[in-house]
Amino acid sequence: MKHVRQNGRFRLEVIGHPDYGLPFGQDRLVPLWVATLAVRQQSRTVSFDSAAQVLDYFGLPKDGVHYRRLIKSFKRIFASSVYFGSSDAQHRNRAWEFSRFHFFDRMKVWYAPSGHTLPEGAARNLIVLSELFWREISCHPIPFDASVIRALAHSPGSVDFYTWLSRRSYNTRTEDRIPLFGPRGLVAQLGVGEYTRDRNFRKRLREWLNDVRLCWAECPARISDDGSALIVAP
């Protein structure tokens, strides 16, 4: 079970577990929440009382449907691996260089099947972040507003765009112009290659931008007049 993105020499592969599948949709909320918890607890090993805390944090209903969906999200995120790198076949001496990444090294999350209750005195939930994930969020934390993520939680594309934009504007010192298309364009950066026609992506980008502006009054981004780029102010 594999998802592949190719951009010139650069390749990204996400490998899912055969029993749990590839991460998708609201699964992206899990690493965001765990990263927040790790920064708050200042530890690569995080603990929490119940999965209901995650639902509460993102303003999602604390019912059986969302609870079971969340547990499946934890499993998909834990069991997936990401491979990224490049292959240079243009020169006589070819090079193949890749790195491997995963979010968590260990996970213990208590949950009760439908109609059952957790045993009395069940231990706290425990997640050990991978060394690479812990180092990344420690050195380059994502400066997102939890209230915005809550408001966008039902739109995974808007969540991705908001987290990308938050980091981009945080690191920008002058006005930045990002082309929508091309090897270093926004389509490639967001990994949304399914928009094969330019106008389809522009339409979806305007929808994401409108969603974000409703929650983030100081949103620093706009689409250029000619529709070829996203302009981000510092």
* Tens digit of each residue's pLDDT (9 = 90 or more) over 14-31: 999 999 999 999 999 999
Q: Give percent of the chain above pLDDT 70.
A: 88
User: Same domain for 129 and 163?
Assistant: no
Rg (CA), the chain: 19
pLDDT of residue 193: 64
What are the tens digits of pLDDT across the range 178-224?
Answer: 999 987 889 888 877 666 577 889 999 999 999 999 999 999 999 99
Do 174 and 114 sit in the same domain of this protein? Answer: no
Q: What are phi and psi of 160, to 5 degrees?
A: -60, -45
pLDDT exceeds cutoff 90 at 87: no
**CA distance linking residue 234 with residue 220, whole number of Å:** 7
Q: Are residues 99 and 9 in the same domain?
A: yes
Residue 38, pLDDT > 80, answer yes
Residues 93 and 123 in one domain: yes
Task: Tell me the torsion sign for CA atoms 97, 103, 108, 114.
Answer: negative
- Lowest-confidence range among 121-130, 171-180, 191-200? 191-200
Answer yes or no: do 75 and 172 share one domain: no
pLDDT of 113:
58
Can you tell me the mean pLDDT for 165-178?
A: 89
More confident residue, 146 or 143: 146
Range of the domain at 220: 146-232
Q: Which of 119-133, 140-154, 191-205 has the lowest mean pLDDT?
A: 191-205
Q: What confidence tier does 172 reach under pLDDT thresholds 50, 70, 90?
A: confident
CA 154: distance to chain centroid?
Answer: 14
Q: What is the pLDDT at residue 24?
A: 92
For residues 44 and 129, what is the distance between their CA atoms, to the nearest angstrom? 5
Task: Write out 74-126 in H/E/C secondary structure.
Answer: HHHHHHCEEEEEEEECCCCCCEEEEEEECCEEEEECCCCCCCCCCCCCCCCEE
What integer pLDDT is reported at residue 115 of this predicted model? 45
Please check whether residues 21 and 121 belong to one and the same domain.
yes
- Boundary residue ending a domain (139, 157, 179): 139
Q: How many helices (H) and strands (E) does the chain have?
A: 8, 10
User: What CATH number is given to the structural domain containing 42?
Assistant: 1.10.10
CB atoms within 10 A of CB 209: 19
pTM for the structure as a whole: 0.82
**Domain final residue, candidates 96, 113, 139:** 139
- Residue 144 scores a pLDDT above 80: yes
| 59 and 9 in a common domain | yes
Give the chain's mean pLDDT: 87
Total structural domains within the chain? 2
Non-local (6+) Cβ contacts of 27 within 8 A are: 73, 76, 77
The last residue of one of the domains, among 117, 139, 161, is 139
pLDDT score recorded for residue 69: 92
117 and 172 belong to one structural domain: no
Do both 98 and 114 map to the same domain? Answer: yes
Q: SS3 for 204?
A: helix
Considering the domain architecture, whether residues 82 and 134 belong to the same structural domain is answered as: yes
Using the predicted structure, report yes or no on whether residue 120 has a pLDDT greater than 60. Answer: no
Q: Are 114 and 156 within one domain?
A: no
Same domain, 54 and 133: yes
The percentage of residues in the chain with a pLDDT greater than 90, rounded to a whole number, is: 57
pLDDT of 54 strictly over 50: yes
